[in-house]
Amino acid sequence: MKYVEYPLSPLLKPFVNRVWEFEMDVPMGEVIHQPDCCTATTHFLFNLKPPFKTKRGDQLIQANATNLITPLTQPVINRLEGTHLHIGVEFTLTGFYRLWQIPLYAISLSDTVLYDLQAVIGPEALGVYNQLGEAQTTAQRFDLMENFLLGHITSKPTKAGLVEGVEQLVQQAPESVRIDQLIKQLYCSKSTLLRHFNEQLGISPKTYLRIQRFQRVRHQLLDKPGWSWQTGLVHVDYYDQAHFINEFVAFSGRSPSRYRNSMNEVEDFFSKCFH
* Residue 229 in domain: no
For residue 48, give its domain range.
Answer: 2-156
- ∠129-135-150 over CA atoms, to 5°? 60
* Residue 26 in domain: yes
**Mean pLDDT: which of 90-94, 100-104, 112-116 is highest?**
90-94
The CA-atom distances, in angstroms, between 150 and each of 16, 145, 196 are 10, 9, 24
CATH number at residue 64: 2.60.120.10
* Residue 43 in domain: yes
Checking if the pLDDT of 56 tops 80, the result is no
* Residue 91 in domain: yes
Write down the pTM of the prediction.
0.89
Q: Of 10-14, 53-57, 193-197, which range is least confident?
A: 53-57
* Residue 41 in domain: yes
* Residue 256 in domain: no
Contact 85, 51 (CB under 8 A): no
CB atoms within 10 A of CB 254: 16
Q: What is the mean pLDDT of residues 186-212?
A: 93
Q: State how many domains the chain has.
A: 1
| β pairing state of 32-36 and 43-47 | unpaired
pLDDT of 111 reads 55
The model's pLDDT over 204-246, given as tens digits with 9 standing for 90+, comes to 999 999 999 888 888 888 777 776 666 666 656 777 788 888 9
Q: What is the CA radius of gyration of the chain?
A: 19
pLDDT of 275 reads 59
The model's pLDDT over 155-184, given as tens digits with 9 standing for 90+, comes to 666 566 899 999 998 888 777 788 998 999
Q: What is the mean pLDDT of residues 127-154?
A: 95
* Residue 141 in domain: yes
User: What are 191-198's contacts with CB under 8 Å, separation 24+?
Assistant: 192/162, 193/162, 193/166, 196/161, 196/162, 196/163, 197/163, 197/166, 198/103, 198/104, 198/105
pLDDT of 54 reads 80
Q: Of 13-22, 46-55, 228-237, which range is least confident?
A: 228-237
Amino acid at 263: M
